[in-house]
């Protein structure tokens, strides 16, 4: 098949024109992109140049303002070394008052919850049967004493007759044996009288210790038996004790003080730990460590004159072990903790907060002893430290 040369030339001319149009469009797009990028930059440079020619400098970033913080000065003073624990109040004596004889309860001499003294009348068992038993025992004793006296007189007669050889020696020996028998009978009778008198005395029940009586457990008119139900429970409240556990790690330090003859003071506070209830001294230490808890039980004794402590009451106990004299003291709010331990933000002369490691001692009533790292008179941050970094500029407000 043959192609007309003129037609082929026309087709090539159309293709070349189309290709030229595409290349021109691409160049215009690239030029537009360059202008879009360069135009803002040129405008920026022009604005800076114009500002500079007018004597105006571009604004710089403002320096951070000083951080307001609360500050206080380290002081020198005494700090008490105390050990805190949760204790339980225990009475020195808890007596379950029971009758030692059987009988009807005829009289009650106490009010529930009353404070009584040792020897005070509490209750009475019907004494009439025991009074009669005492009279019988006394009568038997009188009878046997008369028989003994007669046997002794007969023995004296037999002794004279034996010297005169009027009777045999055997009769005298028999009479001496009879005297000893009557002496034994009289001894038994005297024991019976004493026992009957004691039973009569048991009819009157008295308080064995001073303290507070609880609720009455047997009503008037009931028949009670020896070893049976308690009439009332009597608890001794003055003095009273508090039992509290401490970790075995503190045992050597406490025992050292105790063996040196020192009286370790004990303060007892309420549940909140704020109100002081009573004060006393350490009385004793348990003989073994509880393997389940790793603690040792301590017992403190307190006068409890105002009866503010009650048996089985839970209290907060603080045992005074030692007192550190003339040590550096700071408010506890100034103590901070980091990866390397305790530190404090100390204020420099140009009011910058410098983080300084410190060695802490015991704390008491919102203050903490510093064993090293701070000197009395140095200022430190006690409020606003959460916004600080080491070396930050601060505005200190003394508190």
Q: What are phi and psi of 163, to 5 degrees?
A: -65, -30
Question: How many residues comprise the chain?
Answer: 399
Quick one: how far is CA 31 from the chain centroid? 85
Residue 96 — very low, low, confident or very high, per pLDDT cuts 50/70/90? Answer: very high
Percent of the chain residues past pLDDT 90, beyond the cut: 60
In the chain, where are the structural domains located? 1-60, 69-77+325-398, 83-92+236-322, 94-234
Same topology between domain 69-77+325-398 and domain 94-234: no
> Is the peptide bond preceding residue 92 cis, with omega within 30 degrees of 0?
no
Report d(CA 282, CA 92) in Å as an integer.
14
Mean pLDDT across the chain, nearest whole number?
A: 86
> Of the given ranges (21-25, 218-222, 308-312), which has the lowest mean pLDDT?
21-25
- Kindly report, residue by residue over 367-391, the tens digit of the pLDDT: 999 999 999 999 999 988 888 888 8
Decide if 303 contacts 239 (C-beta within 8 A): yes
Say which range, 95-104, 115-124, 164-173, 294-303, has the weakest mean pLDDT: 164-173
Give 236-249 pLDDT, tens digit per residue: 999 999 999 999 99
- Of 300 and 40, the structure prediction assigns the larger pLDDT to 300
Measured CA to CA, the distance from residue 220 to residue 229 in angstroms comes to: 14
Span 144-162, average pLDDT: 94
Amino acid 59: pLDDT: 47
Burial class, 274, CB count within 10 angstroms (exposed 0-12 / middle 13-18 / buried 19+): exposed
Q: What is the largest CA-CA distance in the chain?
A: 202
Cβ atoms within 10 Å of 384's Cβ, excluding its own: 18
Q: Is the pTM of this model over 0.75?
A: no
Query: What span, in angstroms and rounded, lies between the C-alpha atoms of 139 and 129?
Result: 16
pLDDT at 11 over 80: no
pLDDT tops 50 at residue 20 = no
Pairwise CA distance, residues 330 & 363, whole Å: 10
The CATH topology of domain 69-77+325-398 is 2.40.420
Q: 256: pLDDT confidence band, cut at 50, 70 and 90? A: confident
User: Residue 141 is encoded by which pair of tokens?
Assistant: 């004793």
Phi, psi of 112 (to 5 degrees): -60, 130
Helix, coil or strand: residue 365: coil
Domain 83-92+236-322 sits in CATH at: 2.40.30.170
Domain 94-234 is found in CATH 2.40.50.100: yes
Strands (E), 209-313: 211-213, 223-224, 232-235, 240-247, 265-269, 276-285, 295-302
Cα–Cα distance between 204 and 173 in angstroms, integer? 48
């Amino acid at each position: 098949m043959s192609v007309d040369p003129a037609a082929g030339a026309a087709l090539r001319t159309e293709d070349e024109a189309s290709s030229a149009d595409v290349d021109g469009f691409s160049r215009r797009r690239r030029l537009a992109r360059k202008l879009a990028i360069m135009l803002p930059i040129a405008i920026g440079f022009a604005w800076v140049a114009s500002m500079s020619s007018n004597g105006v400098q571009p604004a710089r970033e403002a320096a951070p303002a000083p951080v307001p913080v609360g500050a206080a000065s380290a002081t020198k003073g005494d700090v008490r070394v105390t050990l805190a624990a949760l204790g339980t109040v225990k009475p020195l004596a808890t007596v379950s008052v029971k009758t030692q004889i059987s009988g009807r309860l005829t009289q009650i001499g106490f009010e529930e919850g009353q404070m009584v003294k040792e020897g005070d009348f509490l209750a009475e068992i019907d004494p009439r049967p025991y009074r009669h038993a005492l009279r019988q025992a006394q009568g038997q004793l009188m009878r046997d004493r008369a028989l003994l006296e007669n046997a002794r007189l007969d023995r004296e007669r037999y002794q004279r007759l034996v010297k005169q050889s009027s009777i045999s020696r055997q009769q005298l020996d028999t009479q001496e044996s009879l005297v000893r028998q009557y002496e034994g009978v009289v001894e038994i009778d005297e024991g019976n009288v004493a026992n009957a008198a004691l039973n009569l005395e048991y009819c009157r029940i008295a308080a064995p210790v001073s303290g507070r009586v609880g609720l009455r457990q047997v009503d008037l008119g009931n028949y009670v038996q020896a070893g049976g139900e308690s009439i009332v429970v009597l608890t001794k409240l003055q003095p009273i004790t508090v039992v509290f556990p401490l970790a075995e790690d503190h045992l050597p330090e406490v025992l050292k003080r105790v063996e040196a003859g020192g009286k370790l003071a004990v303060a007892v506070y309420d549940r909140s730990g704020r109100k002081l209830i009573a004060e006393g001294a350490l009385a004793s230490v348990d003989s073994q460590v509880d393997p389940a808890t790793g603690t040792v039980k301590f017992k403190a004794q307190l006068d409890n004159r105002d009866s503010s402590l009650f048996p089985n009451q839970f209290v907060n106990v603080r045992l005074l072990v030692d007192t550190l004299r003339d040590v550096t003291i700071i408010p506890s709010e100034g103590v901070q903790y980091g990866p390397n331990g305790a530190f404090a933000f100390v204020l420099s002369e140009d009011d910058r907060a410098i983080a300084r490691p410190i060695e802490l001692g015991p704390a008491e009533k919102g203050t903490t002893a510093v064993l090293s790292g701070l000197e009395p008179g140095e200022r430190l941050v006690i409020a606003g430290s959460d916004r600080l970094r080491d070396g930050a500029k601060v505005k200190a407000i003394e508190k």
